C-alpha cells in the first residue's frame, strides 16, 4: 500500500521546516514570503497531500466549519448569500454547512442545537417565519443564549440582546419602490406584503405606507394583500388586488411574489406595464431574464456577504469581540415593468 504523504514529506521536498508547512496550511503564514507559500502549496498538490482535518481540529479546537441556518434553500436570496460568504471564509480554510428550516421553528431549533454541539465554529442564522411568533421567539432566544459559539443574525431580526446583526435597510427600500411608482404617475398602488412576523416584511410594508402618507395619498386597506415570500402567495394576492377596478400598479415585497403576480396579471388578460406596472424586491438573477424584465429593489448581496464574512474572520482569526450591527443600503434597478401613467 502506498504510504500517505504527510507534513514531514512536504517540508523535506520544499526545503523548509515542518513548522513553516504547518503555518501555511493553518492560514497563519503572515510572515512567510509568498514565493515560499506558493512553492509549498504546489509541492503539496503534486504529492496529493491533504491536511488531516480531524487531527487539526483536535489540536486547534476548531472544526473550520461555519453553520448557516436559513428559512428556505429554494429562495435564491439565501442561497446566494451562502455562496458569497463561502468565497470569503474559504480563503481562511472554512467551509459552510447549510441547513434549511423550510420556514419551520422546530427545524430551526434542532439545527442550531445540533450544529452548535461541537460541529461548527460560528453560526449564521436567518430565522424562519414560524420562529418569529411569540412563544417560539422566547425559546429560540433562550437557546441562542446557551450556545458556546459566536453567531450573527441576518436579514430577519430577533428581539432581545443580539450582539451581531447584518440587515438591509428594508424601510428605505419600501419607500424607494413606492416613490418610484408615484413619480411615474400612479396613485392606486397595491402592495403584496411578506409574512409580517418578519422584520424585513414589516419594514418594507411600513416604507410603502409612510411613502403614501408623505405624498398625501390615503392608505387603502383594500389595496393590501398578505403574502408569504413565495410565488404562489404572490399569485393569489395579485388575483385579489386585480379585482380593484382603479389599480394601476403593484409593489410586491419580494421578487418571488412578483413572479406569481405576473402569472395573475397575464391570466387577467392585462399587460405589464401598459395596464399594470409591477415592481419587486431583491433583484434575483431571474428578474432580468423575464419577458418583461422586472424593475426591482436591489439588495446588495455582496455587501451583506462581506459584512458577514468580515465578522466571521474578525472573531475567529483575529479574536475581535467588537459588536457588529451592519445596515446595508438597497437601491432601485430600473427595467421595463413600470411605465408612466398618463393623467
Mean pLDDT of 198-222: 97
CA distance 273 to 253: 18
Query: Averaged over 324-340, what is the pLDDT?
Result: 95
Do residues 45 and 134 share a domain? no
Mean pLDDT of the chain: 91
Shared-domain flag, residues 152 and 245: no
pLDDT band at 31 (very low <50, low <70, confident <90, very high): confident
Q: Tell me the per-residue pLDDT of 108-137, one tens digit each, with 9 for 90 and over.
A: 999 999 999 878 999 999 999 999 987 899
Question: In degrees rounded to 5, what are phi and psi of residue 279?
Answer: -130, 140
What does the pLDDT read at residue 306?
A: 95
Say yes or no: 216 and 234 in one domain: yes
Q: Could you tell me the CATH number of the domain that includes residue 243?
A: 3.40.50.2300
What's the pLDDT at 254? 97
pLDDT in tens, 180-194: 999 999 999 999 999
Q: What is the pLDDT of residues 279-291, one digit of tens each?
A: 999 999 999 999 9
Residues 178 and 246 in one domain: yes
- Residue 256 pLDDT > 50, yes or no? yes
Residues 243 and 264 in one domain: yes
Number of domains, the chain: 3
155 and 103 assigned to the same domain: yes
Residue 308 resides in a domain: yes
Q: pLDDT tens digits for 51-94?
A: 765 455 545 568 899 999 999 988 889 999 999 999 999 999 89
| Residue 334 forms part of a structural domain | no
| pLDDT at site 58 | 47
| Same domain as 314, residue 275 | no
| 214 and 275, same domain (yes or no) | yes
Q: Where in the sequence is the domain holding 72, given as residue range(s)?
A: 60-168+301-329
> How far is 287 from 99, CA to CA, in rounded Å?
26
Amino acid at each position: 500500500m502506498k504510504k500517505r504523504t504527510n507534513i514531514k514529506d512536504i517540508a523535506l521536498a520544499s526545503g523548509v521546516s515542518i513548522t513553516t508547512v504547518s503555518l501555511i496550511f493553518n492560514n497563519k503564514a503572515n510572515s512567510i514570503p509568498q514565493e515560499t507559500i506558493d512553492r509549498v502549496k504546489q509541492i503539496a498538490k503534486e504529492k496529493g497531500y491533504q491536511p488531516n482535518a480531524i487531527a487539526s481540529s483536535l489540536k486547534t479546537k476548531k472544526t473550520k466549519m461555519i453553520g448557516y441556518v436559513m428559512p428556505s434553500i429554494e429562495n435564491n436570496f439565501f442561497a446566494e448569500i451562502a455562496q458569497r460568504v463561502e468565497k470569503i471564509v474559504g480563503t481562511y480554510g472554512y467551509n459552510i454547512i447549510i441547513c434549511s428550516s423550510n420556514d419551520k421553528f422546530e427545524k430551526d431549533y434542532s439545527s442550531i442545537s445540533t450544529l452548535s454541539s461541537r460541529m461548527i465554529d460560528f453560526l449564521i442564522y436567518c430565522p424562519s417565519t414560524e420562529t418569529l411568533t411569540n412563544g417560539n421567539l422566547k425559546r429560540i432566544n433562550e437557546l441562542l443564549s446557551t450556545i458556546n459559539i459566536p453567531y450573527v443574525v441576518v436579514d430577519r431580526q430577533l428581539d432581545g440582546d443580539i450582539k451581531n446583526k447584518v440587515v438591509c435597510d428594508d424601510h428605505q427600500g419600501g419607500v424607494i419602490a413606492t416613490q418610484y411608482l408615484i413619480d411615474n404617475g400612479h396613485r392606486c398602488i397595491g402592495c403584496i406584503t411578506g409574512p409580517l412576523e418578519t422584520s424585513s416584511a414589516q419594514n418594507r410594508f411600513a416604507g410603502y405606507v409612510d411613502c403614501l402618507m408623505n405624498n398625501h395619498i390615503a392608505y387603502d386597506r383594500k389595496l393590501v394583500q398578505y403574502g408569504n415570500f413565495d410565488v404562489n402567495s404572490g399569485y393569489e394576492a395579485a388575483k385579489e388586488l386585480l379585482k380593484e377596478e382603479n389599480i394601476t400598479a403593484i409593489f410586491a415585497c419580494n421578487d418571488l411574489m412578483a413572479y406569481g403576480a405576473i402569472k395573475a396579471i397575464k391570466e387577467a388578460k392585462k399587460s405589464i406595464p401598459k395596464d399594470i406596472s409591477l415592481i419587486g424586491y431583491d433583484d434575483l438573477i431571474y428578474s432580468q431574464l423575464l419577458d418583461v424584465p422586472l424593475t426591482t429593489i436591489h439588495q446588495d448581496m455582496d455587501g451583506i456577504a462581506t459584512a458577514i464574512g468580515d465578522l466571521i474572520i474578525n472573531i475567529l482569526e483575529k479574536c475581535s469581540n467588537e459588536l457588529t450591527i451592519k445596515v446595508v443600503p438597497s437601491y432601485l434597478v430600473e427595467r421595463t415593468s413600470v411605465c408612466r401613467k398618463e393623467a
